[in-house]
């Protein structure tokens, strides 16, 4: 209980959905500034160099006419009943302006919905075109001025906080959106926002070191407080991939060992700063338990509790616990 950031943590004891929507509202108030019609700072390719068939008209930039066919073929199978209706220009513009279109389609790639046929069908060039259109502020026709939508699709009429996707883009390469490629990198999707934020603060303050790649402290130091809150909220709102595989250890033994962990780590227990372990990568869990045991990770929220907890665990027990936890689905109660 020695952390100066503890009172700040309390603010995270709210539902995740509320958190994200209040953050979006906060950006709208604090970050709002006109940028309609200007290219965003992170456009990789000049708009003139990318063309699609429909609606392009000679070099005057990407417009709604270029992206509408993509919306029709890749989005409308679902978004006829789910807002926003991408074939309605004002609805689409509202999501350019609240930042969610680029965030979901380009940065996080969680739209089209992960696992859907549309997600397999959409090309990187199409995602990029949508991103560039969003960077331009979402003009309706080539070169046309961008106007504030009237009665749009539920977004705010405030320009996108560009820092949000810049910050999240720094993480996706290693932490993925639903799973990671490297099993020693932790899955963040669906993790508690309060825990993610606490760990970023620990890395930034050099209270926690990166056991695997030694990069997290520097990455955390590159984020502002606001960006930390935003990425924590974004990740906690993503749905992790469902684990596959079969537990090969001794079920009765692992169940009895998990009794030591249940009170703090089962999804229904623990506080805002307590990590979910369900579905976490096995190799990462082993790394961390060994780090707690060897005192190379010293926890600051509950003092040396995890260090003591890991003290007496044998290598076999750690392996078995890690395997079982890694195979549990998000939200599953401990056995």
User: Which of 3, 52, 87, 116 forms a contact with ligand HEC (CB under 6 A)?
Assistant: 116
289 touches ligand HEC by CB under 6 A:
yes
Contact window for ligand HEC (CB under 6 A) among 38-46, 47-55, 242-250, 281-289 = 281-289
**Beta-carbon-side half-sphere exposure of residue 91 (alpha carbons within 13 Å):** 12
179-191 as b/e, with b when 16 or more CB fall inside 10 Å? bbeebebbbbbbb
- Which of these, 50, 85, 83, lies nearest to 68 by C-alpha position? 85
Which residues, numbered 176-195, are part of the site for ligand HEC (CB under 6 A)?
185-186, 188
Q: Minimum Å distance from CB 48 to ligand HEC? A: 23
Tokens of 284: 């990462």
CA distance 88 to 135: 19
What's the count of helices (H) and strands (E) in the chain, helices before strands? 16, 0
DSSP 89-135: HHHHHHHHHTSHHHIIIIIS--TTTTTSHHHHH--HHHHHHHHHHHH
Nearer to ligand HEC, 56 or 211 (CB): 211
Q: DSSP letter at 239?
A: P
User: Which of 23, 62, 306, 328 forms a contact with ligand HEC (CB under 6 A)?
Assistant: 306
C-alpha dihedral sign at 125, 128, 129, 130: positive
Backbone angles phi, psi at 254, to 5 degrees: -70, -35
| End-to-end Cα, the chain, rounded Å | 30
Q: Minimum Å distance from CB 6 to ligand HEC? A: 11
User: Which of 3, 113, 156, 330 forms a contact with ligand HEC (CB under 6 A)?
Assistant: 113
212 touches ligand HEC by CB under 6 A:
yes
CA distance 290 to 205: 22
Q: Minimum Å distance from CB 72 to ligand HEC? A: 9
Nearer to ligand HEC, 146 or 197 (CB): 197
111 touches ligand HEC by CB under 6 A:
yes
Binding residues for ligand HEC, rule CB under 6 A, total: 61
CA distance 205 to 162: 26
Nearer to ligand HEC, 143 or 225 (CB): 225
Nearer to ligand HEC, 47 or 98 (CB): 98
User: Which of 8, 226, 299, 332 forms a contact with ligand HEC (CB under 6 A)?
Assistant: 299
- Which of these, 201, 334, 186, 192, lies nearest to 276 by C-alpha position? 192
Which residues, numbered 216-275, are part of the site for ligand HEC (CB under 6 A)?
216, 219, 223, 231, 260-261, 263-265, 273-275
321 touches ligand HEC by CB under 6 A:
yes
Instruction: Please name the residues in contact with 80: beta carbons below 8 A apart, sequence gap of 6 or more.
Output: none
Instruction: Please name the residues in contact with 219: beta carbons below 8 A apart, sequence gap of 6 or more.
Output: 170, 171, 203
Which residues, numbered 67-106, are part of the site for ligand HEC (CB under 6 A)?
74-75, 77-79, 82, 86, 95, 100-101, 104-105
Which positions touch ligand HEC (CB under 6 A)? 74-75, 77-79, 82, 86, 95, 100-101, 104-105, 111-113, 116, 118, 122, 167, 170-171, 173-175, 185-186, 188, 196, 198-200, 210-213, 215-216, 219, 223, 231, 260-261, 263-265, 273-275, 277, 280, 285, 287-289, 299, 301-302, 305-306, 309, 321
């Amino acid at each position: 209980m020695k952390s100066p950031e503890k009172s700040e943590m309390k603010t995270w004891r709210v539902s995740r959905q509320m958190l994200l929507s209040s953050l979006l509202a906060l950006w709208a108030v604090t970050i709002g500034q006109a940028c309609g019609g200007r290219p965003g700072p992170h456009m990789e390719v000049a708009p003139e160099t990318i063309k699609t068939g429909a609606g392009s008209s000679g070099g005057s930039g990407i417009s709604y006419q270029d992206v509408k066919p993509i919306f029709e073929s890749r989005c409308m199978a679902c978004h006829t009943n789910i807002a926003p209706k991408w074939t309605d220009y004002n609805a689409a513009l509202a999501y350019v302006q609240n930042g969610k279109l680029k965030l979901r389609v380009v940065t996080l790639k969680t739209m089209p919905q992960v696992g859907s046929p549309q997600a397999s069908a959409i090309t990187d060039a199409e995602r990029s075109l949508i991103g560039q259109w969003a960077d331009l502020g979402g003009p309706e026709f080539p070169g046309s001025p961008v106007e504030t939508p009237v009665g749009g699709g539920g977004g705010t009429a405030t320009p996108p906080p560009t820092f949000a996707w810049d910050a999240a883009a720094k993480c996706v390469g290693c932490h993925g959106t639903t799973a990671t490629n490297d099993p020693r990198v932790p899955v963040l999707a669906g993790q508690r926002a309060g825990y993610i934020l606490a760990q970023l603060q620990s890395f930034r303050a050099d209270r926690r070191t990166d056991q695997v790649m030694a990069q997290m402290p520097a990455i955390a130091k590159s984020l502002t407080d606001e960006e930390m809150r935003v990425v924590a909220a974004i990740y906690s709102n993503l749905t992790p991939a469902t684990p596959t595989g079969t537990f090969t250890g001794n079920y009765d033994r692992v169940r009895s060992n998990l009794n030591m962990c249940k009170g703090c780590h089962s999804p229904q227990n623990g506080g805002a700063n307590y990590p979910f372990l369900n579905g976490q990568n096995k190799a990462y869990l082993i790394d961390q338990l060994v780090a707690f045991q060897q005192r190379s990770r010293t926890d600051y929220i509950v003092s040396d509790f995890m260090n003591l907890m890991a003290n007496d665990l044998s290598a076999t027990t750690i392996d078995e616990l890690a395997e079982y936890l890694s195979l549990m689905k998000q939200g599953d109660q401990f056995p």
